[in-house]
């Protein structure tokens, strides 16, 4: 059974040794499209958990690259395949400048269950780690009354 552990701002699936990025590692972020340009000479690729093809992840691994899978851990996005799993009462205010995105009530066990499924998806896709985004709802106009202590508890 794998467990998750914090590595800098990343979480890494652990089924043995923990991979830790080096200060000298080069990174390629490709979050805006499902097509990953695997020819970029970078040690680590940060890609979208839902949009990237499994073949790209497999190819990057065959090239000795590490793959970090991005997902929003603190906001609802109305274009994600699991969007219908979020009950309406866990949705807060819209994120400023991000159409179709709302803050989530991260204190709710139903939200936590959905995020566990996302982490399981990252493991099944063989991501070397994840980049959980939007884990700062407490410092924004979230409409849910989130506090820093709520965020810390959720992140742990």
Q: Which of 1, 2, 9, 3 is nearest to 155 (CA)?
A: 9
- How far apart are the C-alpha atoms of 110 and 115, rounded to whole Å? 9
Within 10 A of 35 (CB to CB), how many other CB atoms are there?
11
Look up the pTM and report it: 0.86
- pLDDT for res 3: 39
Asked if residue 50 belongs to a domain, the reply is yes
pLDDT tens for 16-45 read 677 888 999 999 998 876 688 899 999 999
Least confident of 5-19, 53-67, 122-136, 137-151: 5-19
Query: For the segment 105-145, what is each residue's pLDDT rounded down to a tens digit?
Result: 999 999 999 999 999 999 999 999 999 999 999 999 999 99
Instruction: Report the distance separating Cα 139 and Cα 152, nearest Å.
Output: 12
Query: Which CATH number is 45's domain given?
Result: 3.20.20.70
- Strands (DSSP E) along the chain, which ranges? 3-7, 10-14, 27-30, 44-48, 66-72, 75-77, 91-94, 101-104, 129-133
- What's the whole-number mean pLDDT along residues 68-95? 97
Instruction: Quote the radius of gyration of the chain (alpha carbons, Å).
Output: 16
CA distance linking residue 41 with residue 49, whole number of Å: 21
- Residue 121 inside a domain? The answer is yes
Domain membership flag for residue 150: yes
Number of domains in the chain: 1
- Does some domain include residue 17? no
Instruction: Choose among 119, 141, 116, 144: nearest CA to 130.
Output: 119
- Tell me what pLDDT residue 34 has: 67
Domain that holds residue 40: 27-155
């Amino acid at each position: 059974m794998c467990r998750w552990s914090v590595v800098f701002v990343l979480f890494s699936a652990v089924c043995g040794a923990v991979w830790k990025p080096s200060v000298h590692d080069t990174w390629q972020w490709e979050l805006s499209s499902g097509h990953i340009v695997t020819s970029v000479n970078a040690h680590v690729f940060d890609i979208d958990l839902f949009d990237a093809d499994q073949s790209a992840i497999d190819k990057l691994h065959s090239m000795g690259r590490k793959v970090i899978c991005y997902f929003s851990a603190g906001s609802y996005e109305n274009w994600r395949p699991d969007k219908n799993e979020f009950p309406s009462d866990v949705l807060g205010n819209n994120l400023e400048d991000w159409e179709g995105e709302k803050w989530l009530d991260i204190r709710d066990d139903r939200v936590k269950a959905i995020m566990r499924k996302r982490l399981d998806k990252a493991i099944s896709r063989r991501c070397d780690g994840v980049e959980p985004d939007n884990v700062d709802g407490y410092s924004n106009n979230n409409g849910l009354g989130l506090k820093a202590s709520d965020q810390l508890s959720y992140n742990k």
